[in-house]
Structure 1
């Protein structure tokens, strides 16, 4: 593959002073900027310290950098050598320690690119990868650079799923799949070298990685990045920076839009103008109709074009994008087929991904409108590495079972829920997502900050019963259990065996904000949730 034919538009900007990555590390500090010239020179310095063993693409390079510019240049450096990039986080907090350990054990990296100093986290890395060569990115950036031949970008990636329902799964995306995924995204959202994106999701997460780091390499556009902690501290800065930079694309999960809208003050809106926004993407978790309607209602006050709001369906297995709704917001379809709650239309599949709905039992293709498992294949779809398999050994590319359940109507995709989130209560089937949506709709926006519906064994009844775990902003005084049970009764003929009101941010989540229900069950059984229960949780239902 040569530089001209790689498709990565940034290759033509190696001498350009145009901003490539702009990073806001704190809400009260000026950003740090790297031009495309700086990015390529730095990446080539780092690449000079990477020594692939054998076939370059079979060399696994873990990228674990706290600094966003280090991360971006380390990724490019890896691809300049032809090695396979494996993005991870460098934190070992409780909710990420298991993920990191799992990734290191399955990957057996040859090289670790990091920006850590000596300490507990660095020692932990050495324990996880005892046979790997460690390269400090900050030191490598100071290496001698003499220029040289025109660089080539490979694009090989071992990307891990978010792990909301199972341990994160490795997905091998070769150069062809990464190029296919980038091509699909650029075409779906009309991206070009003039594109300015505003991002804040973690860079090791598929939506943050592809949107914030990889797509600018593909288009030659500019990526404005704010740290996730900055978004949490000051959510309005997301839209303020979009205004300042006249950004035309941004992407985040559903919860993020609820979070920012519930915290926007009238005075904040005065300084926000999103009229330049062409694609405000919602994906990564169920796209709730109530959230879309809040965005549509808030849009005129924020200058947000209604047609810019684009519900989308994506996953690591497809590089990122599977489908997107691209019609007029006035015609956003919803459906209640196969569900007691409204489901958002996620649009037509991109050309680089083919979608098929299959019968859960026979795996045979179903007719349009029938409910079944969602399978994908195509140019942008990678290979899920089977448990126990070596990702370096040639694997047969096969259709991927996404784990989602849904249907197609006139080609458009509707996701009803996750197969693993199917609750069986008294012999009847319910999707956790439907129950959670019904509960969310009983309260004003912003009151419930997180929710998990589970079916757990009830020895007294000899069957599984419904349990609700609800994060609440503030106190629980304004929420009545009887109102929640009334919604459950009317919508599903159910009553919750127990409802626990928890402090905000008590539920375990993935890097993209998805609640990890399997961990919720474990934390409830072992009593960990007891310290997060809000006073008043046990008032009568």
Structure 2
């Protein structure tokens, strides 16, 4: 029985050494330059990196990974696992606009993880060396570009003696409501969640054979849990093939995603809801006619609120290209549970429940499926710690072997988040901080506990207000709206809505604002204190694309939002 993904990699390299583990689209184009990595080569490079680390670090030491998108990250990550070194995936500095934020995050990761080594690409390492004086945190650290570690270093590799409880890596949370914390994910957590992903997404031997081993196409960031635990590591777990490319290339030309799905005909591919909206925005009739999406069995949608309107429009738009309605696959997970918690059915369309019988179908709540094998999901009254019956909204609690060990060197946060207990239920539970309800054993996620707005004694979920606003006028960008409450003094906390709008909306600000106010008033009985329209790219988001409402609120109060205009407060 495998003790780790490294055991599985070794087995695959022995049984089918020439099979392609990964192909990487260097330019993001299916007809452009492509790099290939066989299982034999992947095992060799992982062992070379591992041996280099073992020669310099004790077991359990931390190594920060700062690779640009590409296969070197995979070799560096698996090399850490093979060495018994704790991997710390990070975001490398990329360009001036991104540089400052990335450097701040990098400093935080180095300090919190106490990393001793930085593994990266050559350009990243050269950039860090050039900025050494401005980066005192890197003093005394060893830096190496993984490309510069020779193949023959693999000869010195030795088995690290891993157990299920050995920490494999630290997944730093994206920080949608708080400062990032390092989730300590063990080798046992990784293997268990791979079983959950495999079962929930139907990655059976029959499905693998039907697709000729082509199981994934992914542009998702590899340093983030969705891109790493799913497409990258499930590939190694199953011994199949994945096609990968950079998220930057996807954002530049979203058509590349579905072009790759058409070209390589994978079983599974997906991303957050905004990715489907981007694909829709570029779906010309000519482009749709050029595609064959009939092989796509799991189009997963997670990491941010799943919109019923997006599922409907995506299905309607790409049905002529062979996309099956039941392929749209909402799911739910989080880093603290390694990744996947619940997933839908491959044989039925996503469940939609009308939260308001008189409301629009596009505003329906979307089910995120049922728990994976060995996963327990409970909905709990967060104030009293008691389980709630089906249909009642509360905090989502999760139990099972995929739940991580805790937060790295943060005993208080670990105790508060990972050590919850429920009367009548065995074991400990993870408090996710997410709100939702169960219906026929299926999970419906409604929002974040810390984002909940209490106005005049009534609870309101910001996602509901944001969706109602976006449906009010086509100039508002889907998935780019933030609702929050602000203290107005005499009237107490009142709702504010900030929305990104297309550039041509400048001449219609008053009309758009009135429509948004009317939509929120009709659907939720709320009077918006202010509606603020801002330029595209203004609203802060996490690395996984989640809206940072607290950061948006702070920018609004500071007057630093890039407003299209300044509509009067009413």
Do both proteins adopt the same fold according to a TM-score greater than 0.5, normalized to the shorter chain? yes
What is the aligned counterpart of 2:71 among 69, 72, 75? 69
Q: Deviations over 1:31-71 (max 9, x none)?
A: 22222222111122211210277862x22222111142110
SS at match of 2:482: strand
Give the structure-1-normalised TM-score: 0.90
Aligned residues: 534
Deviation at residue 390 of structure 1 after TM alignment: 11
What is the aligned counterpart of 2:192 among 172, 180, 189? 180
2: CA distance between counterparts of 1:334 and 1:309?
Answer: 16
What is the aligned counterpart of 2:143 among 122, 134, 138? 134
Q: Deviations over 1:321-358 (max 9, x none)?
A: 10011054456332418998521111111113211111
SS at match of 1:524: helix
Question: Aligned pair in 2 of structure 1 residues 364, 55: CA closer, same or farther (>3 Å)?
Answer: farther
Mean CA deviation greater in 383-392 or 137-146: 383-392
The answer to whether structure 1 residue 164 and structure 2 residue 176 are counterparts is yes
Question: Aligned pair in 2 of structure 1 residues 67, 488: CA closer, same or farther (>3 Å)?
Answer: closer
Equivalent residue for 1:428? Answer: 458
Equivalent residue for 1:190? Answer: 202
Deviation at residue 135 of structure 1 after TM alignment: 2.8
Equivalent residue for 1:41? Answer: 44
Mean CA deviation greater in 293-302 or 91-100: 91-100
Deviation at residue 372 of structure 1 after TM alignment: 1.1
2: CA distance between counterparts of 1:402 and 1:510?
Answer: 17
2: CA distance between counterparts of 1:12 and 1:354?
Answer: 32
Q: CA RMSD in A?
A: 3.0
Q: Deviations over 1:400-455 (max 9, x none)?
A: 11011111112111111100111122333211111111112223487445100111
Conserved 8 A contact 1:90-1:121: no
Conserved 8 A contact 2:6-2:78: no
1:430-509 equivalent positions in 2, closer than 5 A: 430-444=460-474, 447-448=477-478, 450-459=480-489, 461-476=490-505, 477=507, 480-509=512-541
SS at match of 1:495: coil
Deviation at residue 255 of structure 1 after TM alignment: 0.9
Equivalent residue for 2:328? Answer: 309
Structure with greater helix share of residues: 2
Question: Aligned pair in 2 of structure 1 residues 418, 9: CA closer, same or farther (>3 Å)?
Answer: same
The answer to whether structure 1 residue 257 and structure 2 residue 257 are counterparts is no
2: CA distance between counterparts of 1:140 and 1:179?
Answer: 28
Structure 2's unaligned 5+ residue stretches are 420-427
2: CA distance between counterparts of 1:128 and 1:450?
Answer: 35
2: CA distance between counterparts of 1:4 and 1:178?
Answer: 8
SS at match of 2:131: helix
Equivalent residue for 1:322? Answer: 341
Deviation at residue 137 of structure 1 after TM alignment: 1.0
The answer to whether structure 1 residue 527 and structure 2 residue 543 are counterparts is no
1: CA distance between counterparts of 2:7 and 2:261?
Answer: 27
Q: Deviations over 1:162-207 (max 9, x none)?
A: 2111112221111111100011101111225624211111111110
Question: Aligned pair in 2 of structure 1 residues 492, 55: CA closer, same or farther (>3 Å)?
Answer: same
2: CA distance between counterparts of 1:354 and 1:378?
Answer: 6
